[in-house]
Amino acid sequence: MYKYFNNIFVAISSILKGMSITWRHMINIRKGNVTLQYPEERWPRPERDIGFDLDSYNVIRSRLHVDIDDCIGCLKCERVCPVQCIKIVTTKAETKGEDLPDIGHTGITSNGTKKALIVSRFDIDMSECCYCNLCVYPCPEECIYMTGGPNSHKHPIDYEFSQYDRNDLIYKFAKDVDDEKISKYVSKKIK
């Protein structure tokens, strides 16, 4: 008999204790509200000062972007990608460091390195990309990076890049020139 009433008392008191917590939160709704009205309000991305030398690290994961004028065609990013979503085709240039304006090839990168290879195809399939950031570290010219964050001065942030067709998510970064113009510079073997 005692147990019966005790059960009722414990049940009601524990429920009331829980409800008092939610009541307190509801009263303080102005201060404690954590809901963001997306897309009008967005959570700030780490463009703020994180506090260390941002030149050596890339603490952002968003869409990949390539400054194709800086790419020397070393293929390091292609080899390190775990899902093989980067495809690069390069050809040997006749002279190292020479500008070839008819196909848009600049001979010297912004860091002063002379380019020995012409990059004729640089495709990244963003639907395959797993955003692991592994391709960013080995690049000697820092020309492949994830947009925004510490790289906002190079490219504004872009993480909402949805398309209607999956094939539109293949981003082509190489200069868009005709095959005949490229074939002038093709040496023995090209894929």
In the bound state with other proteins, the residue whose beta carbon lies nearer, of 27 and 130, is 130
**E-state strands within 70-169:** 86-92, 117-125, 144-146
Give me the least distance between CB of 14 and other proteins, in Å please.
5
Give me the least distance between CB of 58 and other proteins, in Å please.
7
Q: Under the rule (CB under 8 A), what is the footprint of other proteins?
A: 7, 10-11, 14-15, 17-18, 21-22, 34, 46, 50-52, 57-61, 80-82, 87, 123, 125, 130-134, 137, 146, 149, 166-167, 170
Task: Name the one residue in this structure whose structure tokens are 């201060």.
Answer: 31
In the bound state with other proteins, the residue whose beta carbon lies nearer, of 60 and 66, is 60
Report in angstroms the alpha-carbon separations of 30 from 20, 24, 25, 72, 119: 18, 12, 10, 54, 56
Exposure string for 2-29, b = 16+ CB within 10 A, e = fewer: eeeeeeeeeeeeeeeeeeeeeeeeeeee
Give me the least distance between CB of 151 and other proteins, in Å please.
11
Do the Cβ atoms of 131 and 61 come closer than 8 Å?
yes
Give me the least distance between CB of 44 and other proteins, in Å please.
10
Closest CA to 47 of 168, 162, 149, 157: 149
Give me the least distance between CB of 57 and other proteins, in Å please.
5
CA dist 77 and 142 (Å) reads 11
In the bound state with other proteins, the residue whose beta carbon lies nearer, of 57 and 185, is 57
Give me the least distance between CB of 48 and other proteins, in Å please.
9
In the bound state with other proteins, the residue whose beta carbon lies nearer, of 108 and 155, is 155
CA dist 136 and 15 (Å) reads 53
In the bound state with other proteins, the residue whose beta carbon lies nearer, of 146 and 182, is 146
In the bound state with other proteins, the residue whose beta carbon lies nearer, of 38 and 95, is 38
